[in-house]
Amino acid sequence: MLSDKIIGKKYEADYEVSYEKIKEFVEVLGDKNPYYTDRDFVKSIDGGSTYAPPTFAAIYCQPALKNLYFDSDFSKLVPRLVHGEQEYNFGEPARAGDLIHTSAEVVDHFNKTNRSGKIHQIIEILTTSTNQNDKLVCTATYRLVIRGE
């Protein structure tokens, strides 16, 4: 099975969180929370820079996951890839100016048969993201479905 070749592989990447990226992200969401958008407000509260919303984890985890997609063993599966699910657990909040390091590891795979009898592969990936101070920002579990042929 092709997915056996990727179990245990690790991928890493860094992402610099910027105020501009946070602002673009929350504008798309229509979120006007001043903790994300108002530099002066946040500075008056705690002297720091704006916060990234929790859902911004999808942005700073993506570069490490992209390295997986370009892996020659995994890239053969991408045309049949469907997003399954994801879950996040948060530590320190990400803020503008943070340098987030994410490592992603392919930890498991299993088969699941759908109602019509087609066998799909489920691939599980765990990510760990830390900031420039080595503080845990987020862990995530991603489950990707590789549709059966």
Domains of the chain, residue spans? 2-17+52-146
Q: What's the CA gap between 109 and 50, in Å, rounded?
A: 38
Please give the CATH topology (third level) of the domain spanning 2-17+52-146: Thiol Ester Dehydrase; Chain A (3.10.129)
Whether 81 contacts 145, CB under 8 Å:
yes
What are the tens digits of pLDDT across the range 54-102? Answer: 999 999 999 999 998 898 888 888 888 899 999 999 999 999 999 999 9
| pTM of the complete model | 0.90
What are the tens digits of pLDDT across the range 96-128? Answer: 999 999 999 999 999 999 898 899 999 999 999
